[in-house]
Amino acid sequence: MKIMRLKIMLITYGVGFLLFFGLLVFVALFISNEDDSSGRNYSDMDGVGSVSVSAGVLKHRPMVEKYAKEYGVSEYVSTLLAIMEVESGGRLIDVMQSSESMGLPPNTLDSEEASIKQGVKYFADLIQSAGSKGVDGNTVIQAYNYGGGFIDYVAQRGKRYSFDLAQSFAKKHSGGSKTTYSNPIAVKKNGGWRYLYGNMFYVDLVNQYFHSPQFDGDLVQLVMDEALKYEGYPYVFGGDNPNTSFDCSGLTQWSYQKAGINLPRTAQQQYDFTEHIPLSEAKPGDLVFFHSTYNSGTYVTHVGIYLGDNQMYNAGDPIGYADLTTAYWQKHLIGAGRIKQ
């Protein structure tokens, strides 16, 4: 009986090693092939930033766009394509590996369209839940792998994703759940291997497919050339184009888009999309964020374009320049945000 138990343990540890080694190989292959001619590096500039995915995934973009529009998450097409790349690389019928989100065994859905429809619907449900609980975008990405319980977990622990939270959630659920939303990952601990729930590296695996441009003087000039056209326009809540005028995030989204940079729509989403830095480290072209300027139900309520020397350009009322050293802006200041590289 002891020999049999030993055999089972050896098999289990061996499988765990292969799974973990396979993950390392996957990441290494992506890095080494990033600039090759194997079909990668297809740019999707219609979503949040630029995403580089395989031809096998890119062919599903029209279907993803169709259901993203149906479920109200069109601004997340790039994210959904990156998720698909991680889940299947476009090579499986259940292309978004969404069977499990319906409580079904893996690869149960029998058509690519059914998988995409369910995957997008599931993602949209996670977005809605995240919005109601005030958590960030990376929490939603990890929740696609872990399940919606991760959103509650993060909401109770500061409302911002971290790898430590992903790891602790995995440890908490290891060995106790029949639904993992992904193959388990084996990690080494105390000289041996053990399984963890889901894939705690999921956010990094998805985000590696995103590439955003580096700001430079010319790019900042393109943004400001567009934004300055609307100096003196009135602030219009919900406005996102010159025909309606703009609200704060509508102005930043429109102006940056003219420079080839696709930002999400709201101030909170733009904050979640950027790398957070103190204002003292901000450079012209970064965004600057504020809280509690009105009751919006989100932490971040206002955004402007940082110009340097504690000056910003923003959709106040009217649209124009503002001095960040004034008592009002200092009271509400969160900090700056840099578009991720």
* Cβ partners under 8 Å of residue 9, min gap 6: none
Cα–Cα distance for residue pair 184/43, rounded to 1 Å: 31
302 is catalytic: yes
Residue of 265, 294, 253 lying closest to 131 (CA atoms): 265
Residue of 202, 207, 201 lying closest to 341 (CA atoms): 207
The CA–CA distances, whole Å, from 192 to 112, 189, 200, 246 equal 39, 5, 19, 58
248 is catalytic: yes
Residue 334's SS3 state is strand
Among the listed residues 243, 302, 310, 332, the single catalytic one is 302
Among the listed residues 138, 145, 248, 262, the single catalytic one is 248
Cα–Cα distance for residue pair 321/323, rounded to 1 Å: 7
183 is catalytic: no
Cα–Cα distance for residue pair 39/45, rounded to 1 Å: 17
Tell me, rounded to whole angstroms, the distance of Cα 268 from its chain centroid.
Answer: 13
Among the listed residues 145, 199, 262, 314, the single catalytic one is 314
The CA–CA distances, whole Å, from 225 to 219, 253, 315 equal 10, 14, 15
314 strand-pairing partners? 320
232-237: long-range pairs with CB below 8 Å, 24+? 232/318, 232/319, 232/320, 233/315, 233/318, 233/319, 234/317, 234/318, 234/319, 235/315, 235/316, 235/317, 235/318, 235/319
Residue of 153, 133, 132, 160 lying closest to 197 (CA atoms): 153
Q: Virtual CA dihedral for 111, 112, 117, 121, nearest 10 degrees?
A: 110
Neighbouring C-alpha atoms within 13 Å toward the C-beta of 310: 8
Active-site annotation, residues: 248, 302, 314
